[in-house]
Structure 1
Amino acid sequence: MNTIELLELINKEESYHLEFKLEDENNEDFAKTIVCFANTDGGKILIGVDDNGNIIGVEEVDKVMFRLDDIAMNRCAPPVSIIQESVIVDDKKVVIVHIDKGSQRPYRTKSGQYYVRASNRCRQASREELLRIFQTNQSLYYDELPVTRAILSDLDLSAFKDFLSNYLDITIENNNDLKNFLINFHLLSKNDIPTITGILFFGKEPQKFIPEARVICANISGTDFGDTALEHQELKGTIPVMIIYVENFLKSNLKKLHQIKDFSPESEYEIPLTALREAVINAIAHRDYTISAPIRVILFADRIEIHSPGILPNTVTVESMKVGGSHVLRNPTIYNLLVKMKMVTDLGSGVRRMIKLIKEHTNKEVDLITTENEFIVKIPRK
């Protein structure tokens, strides 16, 4: 980095990826900043610049760099790799500390605190944020965690027996076998506590324990959220039940196109239900269940939008989804049950298949959008 680049950086002021510090900050505060950048999206610390962007400088560059290396190595767990350089402006020395997004997240300080970056400051990570980081790095899967307030009787065991019989051709003879199958499918912990997936698929009242596991459906008269809602439904129940409810909502609100084929009139929906079903099931299978928000299925006059809470799983991009074969699972236990129930394939080709169907049927493109909080599929209507 040269002098001009440094001055341009300072002029941008402190931000999500940039923090100013003086060298007399204590070691814990430096560790906190290093950890918060490593846990979030990386960033830079400019040492020798005050909060107002004034260049104060440091006394000895080597001493500061040695100190920061020691903090990153011994006061952050796991140790954080940093790269340092220095720039001189008007005889004042500034040390620039480069911190990449960590590959071993989450990181914590020596005092045991986890921090993340929020706007232009560092703050303690919430429980949900930590779970999300663990999920991203595949240190744990949220859908396998036990629901501590639930007990075995909160599961509909007869529904699970039907699942084994209908999809796996397995007949259960005794309760011990039943419990072993529940544990093997990660639906029940070894302490007889139902897991997230257990409640979502076989819970008697899933939303009692996981209220965010809902689907909101709306039919809007125009092309904007502010236009009149012709119909609005809040769908609850187990995942298989909600999938049926969404399909019924779509069938009752989509237009049917009629055409004469041979001697008989035939009708079909304006958008293939197979494509819409793919989009909805993908949202249910891959959404982030640590976020307290429902899935939203919204029919506008010119399009259908499916909003799924959470960003894309680690390494998955919109481009890789379009190509097909992008198969990083955020919720592998949920996905495994959907595979067993023949609702998805195990190939990661669902989005590509949906795009192809919509293109063939409407001659228009599906729009895939990622935001900070959700993934949106926009399907054009005829």
Structure 2
Amino acid sequence: MKEPADLEWKGLPTEAASDRFLPPETGGSWDDQAVPQLRLADLDADALADFQRRSGAAEEGGAVLLEQLQLFHLKRAAVLLFHAEPEKLVGGAYVRVGRFDREQGLVEQHAIGGPLFAQFEHALALLEAHLRHDPDGQPRAPAAWPLPLTALREALLNALVHKDYASGIPIQIRLHDDRISLWNPARLPHGWSVASLRTRHLSRPGNPDIASAFQRAGLIEAWGLGIDRLLGACRVHGVVEPLLRHEQDGLWLEFAYTRALPRQYPRSAASRTFSMPTGEVKSAVAGEAAGHVTGEDAGEVNIHAAGEERSHVAGHVTSEVRRLIGACDGVMSRKALQDALGLKSDANFRTLYLVPALEAGLIEMTIPDKPKSSRQQYRLSAAGQALRQQK
């Protein structure tokens, strides 16, 4: 796969930056434009079947499915969603993931191509694998992961749906020992700023047809809540909110492995720790917690993991995790939990329900030292039972 400096458009004309997000009077968005040379036979049958499985669509053939998605005549969105190698037609239509050592040297890199749904699955698997082990290669339990997988999932979905695919540059993810950064070549809607993304806003996808397909697959909602879910997952996990900035013709999201101070900490204590290195912040939180936590925190479920105090505010637990807590009755297998929730998608169950509940310490494994064991089952932890009783 070519590097960004060598990328060129193949089959699709290069547009000026002003044409990437077309106003309604010009005929729609970039992903809405037809690709005259594309034929139905050029699309990947496995990718179409995968979408049918995700969305629960009837198996009526690729042509009917694309018609339902309003992708006829075959559009650029169809190339990205269902072509086996979309980067052959759209330059930079892949995700690049690099892992760096403590000296910022590149250790390994991956170029993840294929249909967008496959890119999502493979990139998310790499992120999860990175969280599973510490810098020395020792395994971590989900509750001890430095970042919530749910937040990274939302960041990845936002990047794939809102990317400026006319840029010819891939999404880039950098994995470090103390942070994960994601850069997405995206343009903000007219009149928007980074601050707009952090407030309640209507959904304004840069690629409406791609967003519609991801919504039908059950991966996103159509209410502009992606950033809310991302920030909420960080609060539940007890880490600081990611740094979000718009520069270099794209959006940066940087997730630091830094514990968040509980909200009841005095401003003076917070100001002292913001200038500390990550390790010192962790020590400060653990050492000062007992002196600042008061009876006002009765609504919080406190969990101790790896010697650190973590506060999980019941109001910040996602609705998916609450449903899982309500469905967990005694000791249950993963399949039993998924069936109890009535969920068809394994990926959605894992990333939206199971992993966040494990990360929050609300459910626990019966065989924690062998997380991938075929005999693995799950049960409510003491914190999960306390949360369930509050309902």
**TM-score bracket for this pair, using the shorter chain length:** 0.5 to 0.7
Give the drift of 1:301.
Answer: 2.8
Aligned to 1:295: 171
CA distance in 2 between partners of 1:334 and 1:144 (Å): 9
Q: Does 1:134 align with 2:22?
A: yes
* Cα 1:268–1:196 shift into 2, 3 Å: farther
Aligned to 1:155: 43
* Cα 1:299–1:285 shift into 2, 3 Å: same
2:100 paired residue among 200, 220, 227: 220
Taking structure 1 as the reference length, the TM-score comes to: 0.57
Aligned to 1:116: none
Aligned to 1:204: 84
CA distance in 1 between partners of 2:231 and 2:26 (Å): 28
The secondary structure found in structure 2 opposite 1:296 is strand
Structure-to-structure mapping, 1:295-334, within 5 angstroms: 295-334=171-210
The secondary structure found in structure 2 opposite 1:377 is strand
Q: 1:298, 1:306 within 8 Å by CA — same for their partners in 2?
A: yes
Give the drift of 1:139.
Answer: 4.9
2:123 paired residue among 229, 246, 250: 246
Matched positions, count: 239
CA distance in 2 between partners of 1:342 and 1:138 (Å): 30
Aligned to 1:349: 225
Structure-to-structure mapping, 1:116-195, within 5 angstroms: 127-132=15-20, 134=22, 139-157=27-45, 159-164=47-52, 166-172=54-60, 178-189=62-73, 194-195=74-75
- The CA RMSD measured in Å over matched residues stands at 2.5
CA distance in 1 between partners of 2:26 and 2:99 (Å): 37
CA distance in 2 between partners of 1:266 and 1:365 (Å): 19
CA distance in 1 between partners of 2:18 and 2:69 (Å): 25
Q: Which moved more, 1:361-370 or 1:149-158?
A: 149-158
Give the drift of 1:299.
Answer: 1.3
Identity %: 23
Aligned to 2:256: 380
Give the drift of 1:167.
Answer: 1.6
CA distance in 1 between partners of 2:144 and 2:49 (Å): 36
The structure that is strand-richer by fraction is 1
CA distances 1:232-291 after superposition (whole Å, capped 9, x unpaired): 11111111111111112112222558xxxxxxx875522111110100110000011110
The secondary structure found in structure 1 opposite 2:16 is helix
The secondary structure found in structure 1 opposite 2:181 is strand
Give the unaligned 5+ runs of structure 1: 1-125, 258-264
The secondary structure found in structure 2 opposite 1:355 is helix
CA distance in 2 between partners of 1:156 and 1:310 (Å): 27
Residue type at the aligned position of 1:275: A
Give the drift of 1:205.
Answer: 2.0
Give the drift of 1:183.
Answer: 3.0
Q: 2:186, 2:251 within 8 Å by CA — same for their partners in 1?
A: yes
Tell which has more relative contact order, 1 or 2 (C-alpha 8 A, sep 6+): 2
Q: 2:21, 2:30 within 8 Å by CA — same for their partners in 1?
A: no
Residue type at the aligned position of 1:207: E
Give the drift of 1:148.
Answer: 3.4
CA distances 1:330-376 after superposition (whole Å, capped 9, x unpaired): 11110011111111111111112211221332431211101151111
The secondary structure found in structure 1 opposite 2:166 is coil
Q: 1:321, 1:351 within 8 Å by CA — same for their partners in 2?
A: yes
Aligned to 1:105: none
CA distance in 1 between partners of 2:164 and 2:202 (Å): 17
Give the drift of 1:378.
Answer: 1.0
Q: 2:47, 2:83 within 8 Å by CA — same for their partners in 1?
A: no
CA distance in 1 between partners of 2:45 and 2:231 (Å): 38
Give the unaligned 5+ runs of structure 2: 1-13, 135-140, 259-391
The structure that is helix-richer by fraction is 2
Residue type at the aligned position of 1:203: H
Structure-to-structure mapping, 1:10-29, within 5 angstroms: none
Q: 2:231, 2:241 within 8 Å by CA — same for their partners in 1?
A: yes
Q: Which moved more, 1:280-289 or 1:350-359?
A: 350-359
Residue type at the aligned position of 2:247: T
The secondary structure found in structure 2 opposite 1:254 is helix
CA distance in 1 between partners of 2:142 and 2:207 (Å): 40
Give the drift of 1:211.
Answer: 2.7
Taking structure 2 as the reference length, the TM-score comes to: 0.56
Q: Does 1:233 align with 2:110?
A: yes
CA distance in 2 between partners of 1:324 and 1:127 (Å): 32
The secondary structure found in structure 2 opposite 1:211 is coil
CA distance in 2 between partners of 1:162 and 1:278 (Å): 20
* Cα 1:138–1:253 shift into 2, 3 Å: farther
Residue type at the aligned position of 1:200: L
* Cα 1:315–1:148 shift into 2, 3 Å: same
Give the drift of 1:380.
Answer: 0.9
Residue type at the aligned position of 2:230: M
Aligned to 2:148: 272
